[in-house]
């Protein structure tokens, strides 16, 4: 049985390559799946990158070489510094980037779309996606001296499955392990077989389970981490760095691990400082110009030329990251579906792309599933008609109702929201703009009647829909509650074949767009910058920073 992370046999060895992998490879060679789609699905079922490329008949790309690493130096990164109390409750990638220096995940999402083992050594998935066997990496030590083993994995899985823990978004990703009656892991769902093996027995098929383990709320905490624990107060981790200090909104500092050795060797950097300059991108430009920072974690599209002009090195990647202008279905006037459809119809996504991020991305279609997702179904483009939109609102007696469109301050989200608001105003709607400072916005991000939120991409489209639109989930910021959609979603996550899953996805995409709950205008290209001293600092597909192998030249 093929295992992720192990050296694999020749792709023609039928004793080792599973039938499901051959079927997926056949679909990819026919063109029914893109290479990226195939890599994501193959790794979900346990194929290493080497085997996956071999099944396609191509050689795996060689790792990029950035010269000979040097030891030393403190990397200074300009980015937001936020609370890191409990990873399973993280809502922002910035939290994950700081916490990831001290804690690690079981699985990592690589640039070629594969899911690679990290604190797991390998895994096996059943052909029907009803069970998974997790093989825990040996030789890993926590920075308090304890050995990492299956007890820690079971502890984290159990915590993730607690759907009653407020703010725990991991329960959305682990729903196939959760007993609906108790809101916790079902009896027998998580089974420790030995010190380094965990068996997961699902209540229903779920192809997203491993992919859910790559997300930033899935960082692994020590077995002693309880309901009232605070990662900042007890920063026990398996990572290459350890915590020195963190002041929210100001600075976080980590240093190369001194308490025990990191299983991956040792970090090249002496340490990392995350420095918060607020939401105004001009502050980052000034910080680079003054030599106060060596890198940032994101460059807005309208500042790319300015930073590149300073002689900085840009790192660019196309992503499934996006922004949604979402309306809460339980708030007036957005509890009226016709009114929501009118708001959606009044906004031209192409114009929003151009005004919001200078066209640095691809047009989206108001259903939050990207063309890079294996199960993406192509629908006719959304219709924009400002005259009809206002007529629809008038027919509902809502054309003159004043409403607010809220956004965070000071970055591309503000500009994009301005572009949406301007189009609604031009169409004749009585709209006001409201801009809120970062900390205040984050504290209530799911509660605004009409606001914009940035969303990161995930390996599978069904993951995004389960997180953002499934009834009752913590990240369901629209309050959307549709039994038909939920039933289709549960069906889709159990379908292995991407072509068959795409048929169900098409229905879900139609339901979402027809509901009018979101304007989702574009998919972003994402850029970050660094000085030429910084080496091996690359743009991840999901804005993650992996700093253990970054080094500074001189």
Handedness of CA 116, 121, 127, 132 (dihedral sign): negative
Q: pLDDT tens for residues 69-111?
A: 999 999 999 999 999 999 999 988 899 999 999 999 999 988 7
Residue 320 pLDDT exceeds 50: yes
Q: Are strands 313-327 and 518-519 parallel, antiparallel or unpaired?
A: antiparallel
Mean of the pLDDT values across residues 337-363?
96
Question: Quick one: average pLDDT of 153-167?
Answer: 96
Give the mean pLDDT of 271-289.
Answer: 93
Within 8 A by CB and 6+ apart from 381, the residues are 363, 365
Q: Are 416 and 357 in contact (CB under 8 A)?
A: yes
Q: Which of 345, 343, 338 is CA-nearest to residue 326?
A: 343
Please choose, from the candidates 173, 138, 139, 143, the residue with its C-alpha nearest in 3D space to the C-alpha of residue 156. Answer: 173
**Distance from C-alpha of 375 to C-alpha of 384, rounded to nearest angstrom:** 26
User: Lowest-pLDDT range, 42-46, 66-70, 101-105, 161-165?
Assistant: 42-46
The least confident of 18-22, 244-248, 276-280, 396-400 is 18-22
Which pLDDT tens digit goes with each residue over 394-441? 999 999 999 999 999 878 899 999 999 999 999 999 999 999 987 788
3-state secondary structure of 404: strand
Over residues 501-529, the mean pLDDT reads 95
For residue 348, name the pLDDT band (cuts at 50, 70, 90). Answer: very high
The whole-number pLDDT of residue 5 equals 41
Mean pLDDT of 491-507: 90
Lowest mean pLDDT among 234-243, 278-287, 330-339: 278-287
Which pLDDT score is estimated for 64?
59
Kindly tell me if the per-residue pLDDT of 442 is higher than 90.
no
Taking the CB of residue 387, how many other CB atoms lie within 10 A of it?
11
What is the band of 9 on the pLDDT scale with cuts at 50, 70, 90? very low
Write down the residue that tokens 């001290």 correspond to: 102
Ordered structural domains, the chain, with CATH? 1-62 (no CATH), 80-218 (3.90.76.10), 241-312+528-552 (3.40.190.10), 318-524 (3.10.105.10)
Q: 321: Cβ–Cβ under 8 A, 6 or more apart, which residues?
A: 454, 455, 456, 457, 523, 524, 526, 542, 543
pLDDT at 1 over 60: no
Is residue 36 predicted with pLDDT exceeding 70?
A: no
Give the pLDDT score at 443.
Answer: 82
Task: Quote the pLDDT of residue 3.
Answer: 37
Q: What's the pLDDT at 15?
A: 36
Give me the pLDDT at residue 459, please. 84
The pLDDT score that the predictor gives to residue 66 is 60
Residue of 175, 123, 102, 113 lying closest to 457 (CA atoms): 113
CA distance 223 to 263: 18
**Cβ-contact 453, 477 below 8 angstroms:** yes
Pairing between β-strand 534-535 and β-strand 551-552 as defined by DSSP bridges: antiparallel
Identify the pLDDT of residue 49.
73
Higher-pLDDT residue of 317 and 528 is: 528
Radius of gyration of the chain (CA): 23
Tokens of 126: 């059943």
Average pLDDT (364-368) is: 97
Task: Give pLDDT, residue 163.
Answer: 94
pLDDT at site 12 = 36
In the block, tokens 């290479």 appear at: 35
The share of the chain scoring above pLDDT 70, in percent, equals: 94
Mean pLDDT, rounded, for 187-199: 98
Give the separation between CA 409 and CA 390, rounded to whole angstroms.
29
Instruction: Of 491, 492, 494, give the one whose Cα is nearest residue 131.
Output: 494
pLDDT of residue 542: 72
pLDDT of residue 51: 76
pLDDT of residue 396: 97
pLDDT at 271 over 60: yes
As a whole number of angstroms, the distance between CA 445 and CA 475 comes to 9
Number of other CB atoms surrounding residue 432 within 10 Å: 11
The pLDDT value recorded for residue 16 is 57
Is the confidence at residue 60, as pLDDT, over 70?
no
Looking at residue 484, its pLDDT comes to 97
Q: What is the C-alpha separation between 486 and 304, in angstroms, rounded? A: 40
Which of 7-11, 136-140, 337-341, 481-485 is predicted with the least confidence, judged by mean pLDDT?
Answer: 7-11
Q: Per the confidence metrics, is the pTM higher than 0.85?
A: no
Tell me the average pLDDT of the chain.
Answer: 90
Q: How far apart are CA 58 and CA 50, in angstroms?
A: 9
């Amino acid at each position: 049985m093929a295992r992720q992370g192990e050296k694999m046999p020749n792709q023609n060895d039928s004793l080792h390559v599973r039938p499901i992998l051959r079927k997926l490879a056949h679909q990819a060679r026919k063109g029914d799946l893109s290479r990226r789609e195939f890599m994501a699905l193959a790794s979900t079922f346990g194929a290493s990158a080497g085997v996956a490329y071999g099944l396609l008949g191509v050689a795996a790309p060689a790792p990029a070489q950035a010269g000979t690493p040097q030891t030393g130096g403190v990397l200074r990164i300009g980015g937001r510094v936020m609370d890191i109390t409990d990873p399973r409750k993280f809502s922002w990638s910035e939290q994950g980037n700081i916490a990831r220096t001290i804690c690690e995940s079981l699985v990592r999402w690589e640039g070629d779309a594969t899911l690679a083992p990290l604190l797991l050594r390998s895994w096996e998935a059943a052909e029907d996606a009803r069970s998974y066997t997790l093989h825990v990496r040996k030789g890993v030590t926590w920075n308090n001296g304890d050995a990492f083993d299956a007890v820690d994995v079971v502890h984290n899985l159990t915590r993730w499955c607690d759907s009653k823990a407020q703010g725990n978004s991991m329960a959305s990703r682990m729903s196939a392990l959760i007993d609906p009656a108790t809101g916790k892991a079902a009896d027998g769902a998580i089974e420790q077989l030995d010190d380094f093996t965990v068996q997961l027995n699902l209540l229903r098929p779920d192809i997203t389970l491993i992919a859910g383990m790559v997300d930033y709320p899935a960082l692994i905490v020590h077995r002693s981490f309880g309901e009232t624990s605070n990662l900042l107060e007890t920063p026990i981790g398996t990572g290459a760095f350890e915590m020195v200090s963190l002041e929210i909104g100001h600075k976080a500092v980590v240093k190369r691990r001194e308490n025990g050795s990191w299983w991956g060797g040792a970090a090249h950097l002496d340490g990392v400082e995350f420095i918060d300059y607020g939401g105004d991108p001009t502050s980052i430009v000034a910080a680079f110009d003054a030599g106060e920072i060596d890198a940032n974690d994101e460059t807005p599209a309208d500042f790319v030329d300015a930073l590149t002009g300073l002689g900085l090195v840009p790192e660019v990647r196309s992503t499934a990251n996006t922004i949604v202008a979402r309306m809460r279905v339980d708030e007036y006037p957005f509890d009226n579906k016709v009114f929501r459809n009118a708001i959606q119809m009044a906004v031209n996504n192409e114009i929003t792309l151009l005004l919001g991020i200078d066209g640095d991305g691809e047009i989206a279609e108001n259903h939050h599933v990207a063309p890079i997702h294996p199960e993406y179904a192509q629908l006719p483009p959304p219709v924009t008609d400002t005259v009809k939109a206002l007529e629809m609102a008038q027919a509902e007696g809502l054309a003159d109702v004043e409403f607010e469109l809220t956004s965070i301050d000071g970055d591309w989200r503000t500009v994009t929201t301005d572009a949406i608001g301007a189009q609604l105003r031009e169409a004749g709607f009585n709209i006001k703009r409201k801009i809120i400072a970062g900390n205040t916005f984050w504290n209530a991000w799911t509660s605004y009647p009409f606001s914009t939120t940035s969303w990161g991409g995930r390996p599978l489209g069904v993951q995004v829909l389960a997180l953002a639109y499934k009834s009752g989930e913590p990240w369901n910021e629209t309050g959307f509650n549709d039994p038909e959609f939920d039933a289709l979603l549960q069906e889709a996550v159990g379908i292995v074949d991407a072509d068959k899953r795409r048929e169900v996805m098409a229905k879900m995409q139609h339901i979402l767009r027809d509901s009018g709950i979101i304007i989702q205008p574009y998919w972003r290209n994402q850029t970050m910058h660094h000085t030429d001293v910084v080496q091996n600092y690359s743009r991840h597909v999901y804005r993650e920073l992996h700093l253990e192998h970054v080094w500074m030249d001189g």
